[in-house]
Amino acid sequence: MAQTADTLPEAKKLYIGEGVTIKGQVSVPDTLVVCGMLEGDMSVGNLIVGESGVIKGRITVSQNAEVSGKVFEKLEVKNLLILRKGSRVDGNVSYGMLQIEQGASIVGGISSTAYGQDQKTAKDDQPLSGIQGSRQTDLPTMELIPSAPAVAAQSAPDPMAARARPVATLKPASPQKAPPPAEQAV
């Protein structure tokens, strides 16, 4: 049976349907869509994990990832990582930018690769000769504000229910004014 161009799958993309299990090393230059199960190490351009999708392994995403299902072990996303409501990531996560919907969960280590790159760039821009005077950084600060449900979470009889409730909220700290620079004698 001959296939026409209309029935061929798109090049450089992979779709793993519900009920399908694949084990092994996977490399997809464009988009990987997982609605079934995938086990192994993978390197992809973009990643979409559907609600029924499960991935177990070390995943490197060179662009963006959107997770509605479950991911276990390691997830490294160079740009935007979106965790949809009901998604679960269990393992180490690194990302460029992160968006988490209420009801999504991360269990494990989490780090921003963008923060490290900003610090590296700022460090590289400094002259190698001695730095005169003190340098104040303009890093944003956050303060932890306990939320009302935190008290209820601590007294909840079910420990899993306590983990699911918000304990605190991060909000930007009020900016502190820097002291005026000292004048130098000429």
Each residue's pLDDT tens digit, 44-61: 999 999 999 999 999 999
> In Å, what is the CA distance from 75 to each residue of 8, 33, 71?
30, 15, 8
Query: Who has greater pLDDT, 78 or 159?
Result: 78
| Maximum average pLDDT range among 103-112, 115-124, 132-141 | 103-112
Q: What percent of the chain has pLDDT over 70?
A: 56
Each residue's pLDDT tens digit, 63-87: 999 999 999 999 999 999 999 999 9
State the CB neighbour count (10 A cutoff) for residue 99. Answer: 12
The overall average pLDDT reported for the chain is 75
pTM greater than 0.85 (yes/no): no
d(CA 145, CA 167): 9
DSSP for 139-165, please give it: ---EEEEE-THHHHHHH-SSHHHHHHS
Is residue 49 within 8 A of residue 71, CB to CB? The reply is yes
Q: Which of 22-26, 75-79, 104-108, 134-138 has the lowest mean pLDDT?
A: 134-138
Each residue's pLDDT tens digit, 161-171: 444 444 444 44
